[in-house]
Amino acid sequence: MRKLPWYAMLLAACLAFAGCKQEVTRQQVAEFVDQADEAARKRFAPEICELRAKDFTLHQTFHAEDAREPSEMDITRKLYCQQAGNHAQLRQYLLERRSIDIDVATDRKTATVTADYVETLPYYEPDVRAATPDDFRYFQIVDSHDVSIVGLEDGDVRFLSTRTESFQKLVKKGELRVPYN
């Protein structure tokens, strides 16, 4: 009987280190996306970053309001996390999820999350130096269509990659009431 606690400890340690979860479920992914959205609303970079796998990549296509053609970029987790840190400086930010669809792969190792979002945030013009967070003339309303692959890393659910296409609309600062949050 005295050996039992050690075997129990070993088993617990094995589960903890090896990552006992091997499959993702729809509910797990839905809760994970809720958590990620909440982290984005808080603009808390460490949490936003933590929810991305170490080899996370973002492909973004961005249609600016007055641009003739969209900008495209591919960035890695490291740069994504730095951008999340910059986002923390925003004082007015709204994120609304309009739709979500979760498709768990047949092997249950990953899920494809397709979601539509609307973000409202200040638009800092590229050539204008903002001395304070309030130094902007327009809010930008960004409609995004995201397709993310979610999977397990070390037993935790993480975003493995995201492809997003965004459409920007600019609205004069005075025409919109966005609370400070």
Partner 1 sequence: MRPLAGPAMLLVMVGGFAIYKFMGKDPTPPRAFTELELASADTEHTGTCYALSTVLVANGVFGNAVRTWSAPDEKNDDKWTLTVESVQQAYKGPAHVFQTFTFVRSGEQIRLDSVEASEGLPTEIAANIDRLLEAPHGMKSTPVDRCQKDGATGYRFPPHK
**Least distance to partner 1 from the beta carbon of 134, Å?**
18
Helix (H), strand (E) counts: the chain: 4, 6
Total residues in contact with partner 1, by rule CB under 8 A = 30
66 belongs to the binding site for partner 1 (CB under 8 A): yes
d(C-alpha 33, C-alpha 81), whole Å: 17
Q: Quick one: which of 73, 88, 130, 176 contacts partner 1 (CB under 8 A)? A: 73
d(C-alpha 122, C-alpha 106), whole Å: 41
Contacts of 47 (CB under 8 A, 6+ apart): 39
137 belongs to the binding site for partner 1 (CB under 8 A): no
**Least distance to partner 1 from the beta carbon of 106, Å?**
30
Closer CB to partner 1, residue 78 or residue 98? 78
> What does the radius of gyration of the chain's CA atoms come to, in whole angstroms?
20
20 belongs to the binding site for partner 1 (CB under 8 A): no
62 belongs to the binding site for partner 1 (CB under 8 A): yes
Q: Quick one: which of 99, 106, 126, 131 contacts partner 1 (CB under 8 A)? A: 126
d(C-alpha 90, C-alpha 107), whole Å: 40
**Least distance to partner 1 from the beta carbon of 37, Å?**
21
**Least distance to partner 1 from the beta carbon of 163, Å?**
15
Residues 151, 61, 131, CA angle at the centre, nearest 5°?
A: 105
Place of tokens 């800092």: 124
DSSP class of residue 57 equals E
178 belongs to the binding site for partner 1 (CB under 8 A): no
Q: Quick one: which of 41, 42, 63, 87 contacts partner 1 (CB under 8 A)? A: 63
Contacts of 60 (CB under 8 A, 6+ apart): 72, 73, 74, 75, 163, 164, 165, 166
List residues binding partner 1 (CB under 8 A).
6-7, 9-10, 13-14, 17, 54, 60, 62-64, 66-71, 73-75, 78-79, 82-83, 124-126, 166, 168
